[in-house]
Amino acid sequence: MGFSLDICCTMFMASILRIYYYFCSPYEPTLLRQSIIMILIQTLLLKVSLYYRPANYDPELLTSMPLLENELNMRVPRRLSSATLEHQSYWSGDWISSLGTITFDIIKYVSGYFIAYFNQGLRFFDVYYRRPLSFWQWKLEANYWWFVIGFSTVFGITTLIFHENVMYSNIIGVLGLFIESLLPLPQILLLNRLQSVKNFKVILLLSWLGGDCTKISYLLFGTDNISIIFIVAGLFQMSLDIYIAFQYLQFKYFTTNKNLNDGVSLHRRNQSIDDVVNDLVSVSSEIELDVLEKGQKDISNNQTSSWSRSRSSTLA
């Protein structure tokens, strides 16, 4: 809890692609050595993370991804959606207002599709949802290592065949940088869902920011034989790491009360039906006990009052 295994997956794929890119288009050997060391570090990190993962982890219990069609029907204007509902007419009595309505709906249509696909893409990085084929959410540890071996083998063979092809070189270069630039995204989504930084080590965040600063400084001032795409990808990744730093400060120092409330609601969500029923029975029993005690007190008070009145009348 607090650390996303997707970070290991991202760094594995990015580092492997960067190593193969070196054989297609050689770059600074320092970056090559960095990629090799990164693979060794991520191997150790994945091994430790899987070892300490809860024994009752089961990807089948994760929530299925929402259907893209449902979200499109929700965001696309009703006149243009495929939902089986009554569609309103575009004609409103004059051409100007009708054309304005059509233009507005087209803008909503395009933006609706963009937002829907963007959200669906983000959900792929959200550990809350079960991905297709449970990718990188497997229960067996061996599946993770088989994927890394298979990924390395496939791109190793294609690199051996197409290493002199400029288009292939550009594809794996851009793909590797794009994957690496998305490194902080799973962690951002995880912290945003947990609304807490518990078990997230600040030293990890500082190492990311320090690595970003070192890499950007090296790319800008340490070498001349570097493509602009390395710099763009590095700046994008650094911006995401800065956002994680903002999340850390927010959840660590400014949302304490909210986290407590969320903890209570999370406890409620994790309760079984039997636990909920037992809680309700306990509450109802306490209420009945309070009512019974109150009734006994009222009876006792009434008896005392009656005894006092009868005694007063006797004395009179």
Check residue 282 and give its pLDDT.
Answer: 42
Contacts of 248 (CB under 8 A, 6+ apart): 191, 197, 200, 202, 205
Check residue 147 and give its pLDDT.
Answer: 97
Q: What is the pLDDT along the chain (316 residues), one digit of tens a residue?
A: 557 788 899 999 999 999 999 999 888 788 889 899 999 999 999 999 999 888 888 888 888 888 888 887 777 766 555 544 555 666 667 777 778 878 887 888 888 888 888 888 888 888 888 998 899 999 999 999 999 999 999 999 999 999 999 899 989 988 998 898 888 888 888 888 888 888 788 888 888 888 888 888 887 887 776 777 778 888 888 999 999 999 999 988 887 555 445 554 444 444 433 443 344 334 344 444 444 455 555 545 555 555 454 444 444 4
Check residue 78 and give its pLDDT.
Answer: 61
Rounded to whole angstroms, the Cα distance separating 224 from 237 reads: 21
At 130, phi and psi to the nearest 5? Answer: -85, 120
Rounded to whole angstroms, the Cα distance separating 43 from 50 reads: 11
SS3 state of residue 129: strand
- DSSP at 218: I
Q: Which of 19, 51, 21 lies closest to 38, judged by CA?
A: 19
Check residue 128 and give its pLDDT.
Answer: 84
